[in-house]
Amino acid sequence: MRGSEEKRVTVFKGIGVSPGIAIGKAYVLDHLDAKISRYKLDDSKLVTREIERFGEALKESERQLLKIKKELSDYEGIESLYIIDVHIMILKDKMLTSNTVRNIKDKYVNSEWALRMTIDKYKEIFDMVADDYLRERISDVEYVGQRILRNLAGKKRETISDIGEDVVIIARDLSPTDTAQMKVERVLGFATDIGGKTSHTAIVARSIEIPAVVGLKRIVREVRTDDEVIVDGIAGLIIVNPDPEMLRRYEDKKKHYHIIEESLLEYAGLPALTKDNYKVEIGANIEFVEEIPSAVAHGADGVGLFRTEYIYVNRERLPTEEEHFSSYKSVIEGKGIGVSTIRTFDLGGDKFFSDPGLICEMNPQMGLRAIRFCLKEVDSFKVQLRAILRASVFGKTRILFPMISGVGEFRDTKRIFNEVKNDLLAEGIPIAEDIELGIMIEIPSAVMVADELAREADFFSIGTNDLIQYTLAIDRINEQVSYLYEPLHPAVLKLIRRVVDAGHRAGIKVAMCGEMAGEPVYTMILLGLELDELSMNPLAIPRVKKIIRGLTLRESKELLEKVTTFPTAAEIERFVRSYMTQRFPEDFLTNEQ
């Protein structure tokens, strides 16, 4: 077999979306075998048995293929059968077998991993083929590989199942289904071909505090399972097969990064209070109950956004009311947490494109998702609302409804909420009396009718990710246009201001829970806009607090007034960045490297 035997150092540049440094083995993720782990065989006896296990899986695969062939031959023309013969030949190909067995022997790894290494290597060779049709033949190899893997899974031995190794996940993109299936504690970092700061990969990485680099374009094709990789989430780099010198430098950097984080943690426990005594509430955006300790440790006053989609993923059926309830109860009664903001079902859109159970929409971002889906699927919406209401007696609760486009939708939502509430009261089930109902402001139409909405809602929370995307008409995961995703676009600033003003006129609080809220470069601008609450990924809190504590509201307003005279997003961004860099040199200089 060809393919480079000696390891070459390769560096890929992408977008760092979650800070930190990770060093470890690559695992190239394919959608069909997301559950494969790497296990070290620590005994030569295990190697022999592992090779036997691989042999058995090969035999079983062949038996299955012959059976399929026989079944097909009963009613199909001979023509379509040859491909099964091809697959059987690949299965029995001595190179496939000998390479995999060699991997097991030389690397002391389990059959699954060894087979993946073999297939990845062939993939690399096929990728270089110029002829489209011939290059596509790798799919036959992969098909056979998947069959063997399935048969291996059926014969998994328990003795090695618990000692999986930590890996860096390399993928084209990660969907919630992918991440839900992973043992997250085994994941050191992410590197993906596509995506941006707000894609799912980025959000998950930040929430579990591991480094991630996205938008690498060709990483899946270039990296093989078992390659040594460094993920530099600060600089947005992936280094494959680093030389020892480089490895040492990065081990150092990794340590350094942790020291910086430690020094920032002293701000975690302090209130987000400006020098002129303007207090900003700091919320944490979380999606797993397990994140609450980290949110509290990093200084969150409350949960500003609890994403509930993860209760739904990776299931055969819809979650029961009890499953919802136990999840919300854990959040609402969470230690050290003030208010808990539960966002209802945001299913649909980019977050669920990989769910095979859903009808494929041409334009899912503007399709049947979030509150639209809930108002259509009222029964399952009511299950969620019942659970939230029941959990509300365990602590101060807010409910946030996503994708509200106007007053009508919000009234429909409240009507359903009241039905659920009355049902519970009729059943004698206690619920809190001070539950607040909020609107997620993320559609431009909601901004335009913010005054009317403010009269009907208890609070607003601005979801900047979608608001920016809908306002500027750009698909944030489309790399062709992602450069237009500009949080400081004059239009975006005007919209935010309009929402804040409308909210304050009606006497309600206005929060921001989009990614923008946790970006320290924007902190002064957001303060100048007089947002009452900023909710962000917990890791971002200490630095944002540090910045808030180092400035005044007056100064922030002046900066905002200054930049709103600029006509373009680029000018505003440039000005704000250089202002922040001068104002807080130790917080921004290091990030730009």
Q: Which two tokens stand for residue 294?
A: 């980290």
From the list 80-88, 215-223, 315-323, 547-555, the region that binds another protein by CB under 8 A is: 80-88
Radius of gyration of the chain (CA): 26
From the list 81-89, 263-271, 320-328, 477-485, the region that binds another protein by CB under 8 A is: 81-89
Rounded distance between C-alpha atoms, residue 37 and residue 29, angstroms: 11
Query: Is residue 178 packed enough to be buried (19+ CB in 10 Å), middle (13-18) or exposed (0-12)?
Result: buried
Residue 513 is among the residues annotated as catalytic for this protein: yes
Beta-carbon count within 10 A of 586 CB: 9
Q: Which two tokens stand for residue 545?
A: 């607090």
Rounded distance between C-alpha atoms, residue 262 and residue 539, angstroms: 11
The reply to whether 93 sits near another protein by the rule CB under 8 A is yes
Residue 200 is among the residues annotated as catalytic for this protein: yes
The reply to whether 321 sits near another protein by the rule CB under 8 A is no
The reply to whether 95 sits near another protein by the rule CB under 8 A is yes
Report DSSP letters for 75-132, one per residue: TS-GGGGHHHHHHHHHHH-HHHHHHHHHHHHHH-B-HHHHHHHHHHHHHHHHHT---H
Taking the least distance from each CB to another protein, the nearer of 93 and 185 is 93
The reply to whether 96 sits near another protein by the rule CB under 8 A is yes
DSSP-assigned letter for residue 299: T
Report the nearest approach of another protein to the CB of residue 129 (Å): 4
Taking the least distance from each CB to another protein, the nearer of 78 and 426 is 78
Report the nearest approach of another protein to the CB of residue 138 (Å): 8
Taking the least distance from each CB to another protein, the nearer of 25 and 135 is 135
How many helices (H) and strands (E) the chain has is answered by 24, 16
Helices marked H in 472-552 — which ranges?
Answer: 490-505, 523-528, 541-549
The reply to whether 288 sits near another protein by the rule CB under 8 A is no
Report the nearest approach of another protein to the CB of residue 86 (Å): 5
Taking the least distance from each CB to another protein, the nearer of 99 and 464 is 99
Report the nearest approach of another protein to the CB of residue 109 (Å): 21
The reply to whether 284 sits near another protein by the rule CB under 8 A is no
Taking the least distance from each CB to another protein, the nearer of 3 and 336 is 3
Report DSSP letters for 22-91, one per residue: EEEEEEE--GGGTT---BB--SHHHHHHHHHHHHHHHHHHHHHHHHHHHHHHTTS-GGGGHHHHHHHHHH
Q: Cβ contacts of residue 44 below 8 Å, gap of 6+?
A: none
Among 89, 425, 429, 570, which residue sits at the site for another protein (rule: CB under 8 A)?
A: 89
The reply to whether 85 sits near another protein by the rule CB under 8 A is yes
From the list 83-91, 256-264, 323-331, 425-433, the region that binds another protein by CB under 8 A is: 83-91
Rounded distance between C-alpha atoms, residue 314 and residue 492, angstroms: 35
The reply to whether 94 sits near another protein by the rule CB under 8 A is yes
The reply to whether 102 sits near another protein by the rule CB under 8 A is no
Taking alpha carbons only, the member of 533, 486, 526 closest to residue 511 is 533
Taking the least distance from each CB to another protein, the nearer of 5 and 586 is 5
Report the nearest approach of another protein to the CB of residue 134 (Å): 5
Report the nearest approach of another protein to the CB of residue 32 (Å): 19
Helices marked H in 241-367 — which ranges?
Answer: 244-264, 292-297, 321-332
The reply to whether 66 sits near another protein by the rule CB under 8 A is no
Q: Pairing state of beta strands 237-240 and 10-13? A: antiparallel
Among 51, 68, 72, 86, which residue sits at the site for another protein (rule: CB under 8 A)?
A: 86
The reply to whether 273 sits near another protein by the rule CB under 8 A is no
Name 24's bridge partners: 229
Q: Binding-site residue total for another protein (CB under 8 A)?
A: 24
The reply to whether 83 sits near another protein by the rule CB under 8 A is yes
Q: What is the helix (H) or strand (E) element at residue 440, kind and residue range? A: strand 436-441
What residues between 112 and 131 interact with another protein by CB under 8 A? 122, 125-126, 129-131
The reply to whether 425 sits near another protein by the rule CB under 8 A is no
Q: Determine phi and psi for 180, rounding to 5 degrees.
A: -65, -30
User: Can you give 181-242 as a three-state secondary structure string?
Assistant: HCCHHHEEEEEECCCCCCCHHHHHHHHCCCCEEECCCCHHHHCCCCCEEEEECCCCEEEECC
Q: Which one of 87, 298, 324, 513 is the catalytic residue?
A: 513
Taking the least distance from each CB to another protein, the nearer of 131 and 434 is 131
Taking the least distance from each CB to another protein, the nearer of 51 and 86 is 86
Taking the least distance from each CB to another protein, the nearer of 135 and 557 is 135
DSSP-assigned letter for residue 483: G
Beta-carbon count within 10 A of 289 CB: 16
Report the nearest approach of another protein to the CB of residue 154 (Å): 24
Taking the least distance from each CB to another protein, the nearer of 75 and 133 is 133
Report the nearest approach of another protein to the CB of residue 90 (Å): 6
DSSP-assigned letter for residue 333: T
The reply to whether 491 sits near another protein by the rule CB under 8 A is no
Q: Which one of 87, 200, 298, 489 is the catalytic residue?
A: 200
The reply to whether 429 sits near another protein by the rule CB under 8 A is no
Cβ–Cβ under 8 Å, residues 204 and 174: yes
Taking the least distance from each CB to another protein, the nearer of 139 and 418 is 139
The reply to whether 141 sits near another protein by the rule CB under 8 A is yes
Q: Which two tokens stand for residue 335?
A: 């230690």
From the list 77-85, 383-391, 438-446, 471-479, the region that binds another protein by CB under 8 A is: 77-85
Cβ–Cβ under 8 Å, residues 173 and 194: yes
The reply to whether 1 sits near another protein by the rule CB under 8 A is yes
The reply to whether 133 sits near another protein by the rule CB under 8 A is yes
Report the nearest approach of another protein to the CB of residue 72 (Å): 16
DSSP-assigned letter for residue 472: T
The reply to whether 90 sits near another protein by the rule CB under 8 A is yes
Report the nearest approach of another protein to the CB of residue 17 (Å): 36
In the complex, the residues that contact another protein under the rule CB under 8 A are 1-2, 82-83, 85-86, 89-90, 93-96, 122, 125-126, 129-131, 133-135, 137, 140-141
Residues with catalytic function:
200, 513
